[in-house]
A and B are shown apart, each in its own frame.
Chain A
Amino acid sequence: MFKKILIANRGEIAVRVIRACHEMGIAAVAVYSEVDRAALHVRKADEAYPIGAPAASESYLNIQKLLDVAARSGADAIHPGYGFLSENAKFARACVEAGVKFIGPTAAAMDAMGSKTRARQAMERAGVPFVPGTSRGLESFEQAQEVAARIGYPVMLKAAAGGGGKGMRLVHASDDLKSSLEGARSEAERSFGDREVYIEKAIINPRHIEMQVLADEQGNIVYLGERECSLQRRHQKVMEEAPSPIVDAEMRRTMGEVAVRVAQAAGYTNAGTVEFLVDQQKNFFFLEMNTRLQVEHPVTELTTGLDLVHLQIRIAAGERLPFTQNEVKIRGHAIECRIYAEDPDNNYFPSPGKITLLLAPSGPGIRRDSGMYEGWTVPMDYDPLLAKLIGYGTDRDQAIGRLRRALNEYFVGGIKTNISLFRRILTDPDFRAAKMDTGFLDRLLQQKGSEALSDPKATEVAVIAAGIFATLGPAAAGTGERAVTGDAANSNQGAVSNWKIAAHKEATR
């Protein structure tokens, strides 16, 4: 087993991995950029090394600096977390060359998954279902007509070089195909300098469901059940749950076996996730494989009783999977809320700043993986994920009830968060009935939500409380919002807060 692990990440996931290290008797090495000296992961680690400027390219993405810290600290393995370098084959290769174990798949497996066309060929040989269509560019309108008729309308035209919705056209009927194809081609030409367009069956209101796999280095692969991740905004997941309300034991087995074949085809090792799009008839299609630990891994941990980070470390240390597929049992239901520093009044735009007050929930069935603390200034340089709140229960209703209860207890002052959004989701009748797809959240946010209209009693309470806070004046306020710009530690902001603290002491004496 490893003696010391370097965690090449920050925020809640770095804290999560440090905790696993300590639980296993392994020393944990943190790295931090200039704005992260006071971050929680640095406080929790056994050793911590500065790696440079706030820009990720100068710090958390800088392979040479990370390997230098590994050498200086004597770490024998590196856990990449998620994001940053976690799916970077070059980094995985550099770790091998530096003689330090990368906790994750091999560079070759990442390469196999990174290239869409190569991945697709290997997957097709392994019998993995893809969205029907052409994997290569259309040669002519006649070919488009022929393929569309074969796979059935509606179809989607997509730019081969595409991304961000550019060069995409949804076509409902054959009459519109010609003009849509021309439109998609010229838009692709303008946006990417490449007019190649391919055609796929359009999946209307799909669900996003993914399957967790775990593979050891001796060739054993298991699947650990699915996660429903349909609640997304700006292609970012907001809430995930396990199991998926629409997946039964039979579908889980079929999907799980496909996911295992995907992993086998790539020569995959360690933890990975196979993502699928699921249509309204519950047909599922391979989307991509994420070659890392996922943000939402806790819902799988709670429903399987396994610790994925412990298992990642043990697999990387050369151990065999300690259980077989038959021993994996799904029990209960878990739902995760991603708590982001985002402004609900401003289209959920990121909102960093100083946390002046933090009230954190606990109690039965509640897990909180957090990277924040009261008094910490959330830097403006990174992802706005602050923490994850996970509710667990014997069934979905109990998990929802526990989450609603815990969200009432959760409060972050001084910055804006998306905590109030989850209350809306959890009380939505369609969510309660598990009727969701990837467009659910956008539709929910378009309905003008008004707390005041929905709950006149709570509005009255808010009015009275607002008046009392106004009467009590600054004495009732926390330390107040403060700067995150520049280096707050060296500015005169500190003096201001001392004044406020003194005033507060006077007022409450």
Chain B
Amino acid sequence: MTYDIIIDGKSYRLDLSRAEGRWSCRLDGREVEVDAVLARPDVLSLRIGNQAYEVKCERVAGDMHLWVGSARFAADVRDPRSLRGRIRALDDHGPKKLSAPMPGKIVRVLVRPGDEVEAGAGVVVVEAMKMQNEIKSPKKGTIQKILVAEGAAVNAGDVLAIVE
């Protein structure tokens, strides 16, 4: 498998293959000696050369974060051969989904379909654990659709609105 893995704005090309329980790995073209054991779901015991690491995988609403010790890295894993990977590698044209970053309750909808919004403008207010959070538009555009009503409960990752 070949992946483009983006961490902190930087893209790394990773070639991985597995045969008879052994991994072979090239990172940006450089051979890396890797030995991996899945200790339990989402917990990897990793040896790189003779260096040992325990890496944990945090998955919330489609986001993937890797924890190396208590250092936390947001990772975006893309398959360079897939259409989706190539489209995502392009830029922000087209409709953008606005999704809930956490479970909560919709306390206010601040816009109506057809409204023009600036990037960073508040669209929906979600409340969780006594705190209100304004979910902001990711881009300048027109509100195409509002998918939630005031008072509704939402889960992390639920689409709240679409900005065209």
Residues on A facing B (Cβ under 8 Å): 341, 343-346, 349-353, 356-357, 359, 380-384, 404, 407-408, 410-411, 413-416, 419-420, 422-423, 450-453, 455, 458-472, 476-481, 483-486, 504
* Chain B residues within 8 Å of A419, by CB: 70, 72
* Chain B residues within 8 Å of A468, by CB: 16, 23, 34, 36, 44, 46
Candidates A350, A408, A466; contact of B5 at CB < 8 Å: A466
* Chain A residues within 8 Å of B25, by CB: 464, 467
Q: Given A352-B128, A469-B44, A485-B103, are A346 and B60 neighbors across the interface (CB < 8 Å)?
A: no
**A to B CB contacts below 8 Å, 23 in the list:** A341-B129, A349-B133, A353-B156, A357-B41, A382-B129, A408-B69, A408-B70, A411-B56, A423-B70, A461-B53, A464-B27, A465-B53, A465-B68, A466-B3, A467-B1, A467-B16, A468-B34, A468-B44, A469-B64, A471-B18, A476-B57, A485-B153, A485-B154
* Chain B residues within 8 Å of A453, by CB: 8
In the assembly, what is the distance between CA of A117 and CA of B7, in Å?
A: 54
Task: Flag whether B121 is at the interface (Cβ < 8 A).
Answer: no
Residue of A nearest to B155 (CB): A483
Task: Flag whether B149 is at the interface (Cβ < 8 A).
Answer: no
Q: Hey, what's the 0/1 contact readout for B119-133 against A, CB within 8 Å counting as 1?
A: 000000000111101
Closest 8 CB pairs of A and B: A452-B8, A485-B153, A350-B129, A408-B69, A465-B55, A420-B72, A462-B73, A466-B75
Candidates A349, A404, A460, A463; contact of B75 at CB < 8 Å: A463
* Chain A residues within 8 Å of B7, by CB: 452, 459, 462-463, 466
Least CB distance from A123 to B in Å reads 31
In the assembly, what is the distance between CA of A359 and CA of B25, in Å?
A: 28
Residue of A nearest to B46 (CB): A465
* Chain A residues within 8 Å of B103, by CB: 352-353, 380, 483-485
Q: Hey, what's the 0/1 contact readout for B140-164 against A, CB within 8 Å counting as 1?
A: 0000000000000111110000000
Residues on B facing A (Cβ under 8 Å): 1, 3, 5, 7-8, 10, 12, 14, 16, 18, 23, 25, 27, 32, 34, 36, 38, 40-44, 46, 48, 53, 55-61, 63-64, 66-75, 77, 101-105, 128-131, 133, 153-157
Q: Given contacts A467-B1, A477-B57, A477-B59, could you give 20 more A-B pairs where the C-beta distance is less than 8 Å?
A: A341-B129, A343-B102, A350-B131, A351-B60, A351-B128, A353-B103, A356-B42, A357-B40, A357-B42, A357-B43, A357-B56, A382-B129, A413-B58, A414-B58, A461-B55, A463-B5, A465-B44, A469-B66, A478-B59, A480-B59
Establish whether residues A467 and B3, one from each chain, have CB atoms under 8 Å apart when the complex forms. Answer: yes
Residue of A nearest to B104 (CB): A380
Q: Given A353-B156, A411-B56, are A359 and B131 neighbors across the interface (CB < 8 Å)?
A: no
* Chain B residues within 8 Å of A384, by CB: 129
Residue of B nearest to A420 (CB): B72
Residue of A nearest to B25 (CB): A464
Residue of A nearest to B133 (CB): A349
B5, B23, B38, B60 interface centre (most CB from chain A within 10 Å): B60
Establish whether residues A420 and B70, one from each chain, have CB atoms under 8 Å apart when the complex forms. Answer: yes
In the assembly, what is the distance between CA of A414 and CA of B156, in Å?
A: 11
Establish whether residues A472 and B59, one from each chain, have CB atoms under 8 Å apart when the complex forms. Answer: no
* Chain A residues within 8 Å of B153, by CB: 485-486
In the assembly, what is the distance between CA of A337 and CA of B98, in Å?
A: 33
Candidates B3, B71, B101, B156; contact of A470 at CB < 8 Å: B3
In the assembly, what is the distance between CA of A413 and CA of B72, in Å?
A: 12
Q: Given A352-B102, A411-B56, A486-B153, are A451 and B73 neighbors across the interface (CB < 8 Å)?
A: yes
Establish whether residues A484 and B155, one from each chain, have CB atoms under 8 Å apart when the complex forms. Answer: yes
In the assembly, what is the distance between CA of A356 and CA of B156, in Å?
A: 14
In the assembly, what is the distance between CA of A357 and CA of B69, in Å?
A: 15
Q: Given A357-B43, A478-B41, are A451 and B59 neighbors across the interface (CB < 8 Å)?
A: no
Q: Given A349-B102, A359-B43, A464-B27, are A411 and B67 neighbors across the interface (CB < 8 Å)?
A: yes
Establish whether residues B27 and A460, one from each chain, have CB atoms under 8 Å apart when the complex forms. Answer: yes
Least CB distance from B138 to A in Å reads 13
Establish whether residues B104 and A452, one from each chain, have CB atoms under 8 Å apart when the complex forms. Answer: no
Least CB distance from A195 to B in Å reads 29
In the assembly, what is the distance between CA of A352 and CA of B41, in Å?
A: 21
Establish whether residues A423 and B129, one from each chain, have CB atoms under 8 Å apart when the complex forms. Answer: no
In the assembly, what is the distance between CA of A351 and CA of B154, in Å?
A: 12
* Chain B residues within 8 Å of A463, by CB: 5, 7, 12, 14, 27, 75
In the assembly, what is the distance between CA of A453 and CA of B71, in Å?
A: 12
Establish whether residues B10 and A383, one from each chain, have CB atoms under 8 Å apart when the complex forms. Answer: no
A357, A413, A468, A483 interface centre (most CB from chain B within 10 Å): A468
* Chain A residues within 8 Å of B8, by CB: 450-453, 459
Establish whether residues B41 and A504, one from each chain, have CB atoms under 8 Å apart when the complex forms. Answer: yes
* Chain A residues within 8 Å of B43, by CB: 357, 359, 411
Establish whether residues A466 and B77, one from each chain, have CB atoms under 8 Å apart when the complex forms. Answer: yes
Least CB distance from B134 to A in Å reads 10
Q: Given A452-B8, A504-B41, are A380 and B3 neighbors across the interface (CB < 8 Å)?
A: no
Establish whether residues A414 and B60, one from each chain, have CB atoms under 8 Å apart when the complex forms. Answer: yes
In the assembly, what is the distance between CA of A463 and CA of B73, in Å?
A: 9
* Chain B residues within 8 Å of A414, by CB: 58-60
In the assembly, what is the distance between CA of A451 and CA of B68, in Å?
A: 10
Residue of B nearest to A382 (CB): B129
B12, B55, B64, B103 interface centre (most CB from chain A within 10 Å): B103
Residue of B nearest to A344 (CB): B72
In the assembly, what is the distance between CA of A383 and CA of B130, in Å?
A: 7
In the assembly, what is the distance between CA of A406 and CA of B32, in Å?
A: 29
Q: Given A351-B102, A357-B41, A414-B60, are A464 and B34 neighbors across the interface (CB < 8 Å)?
A: yes
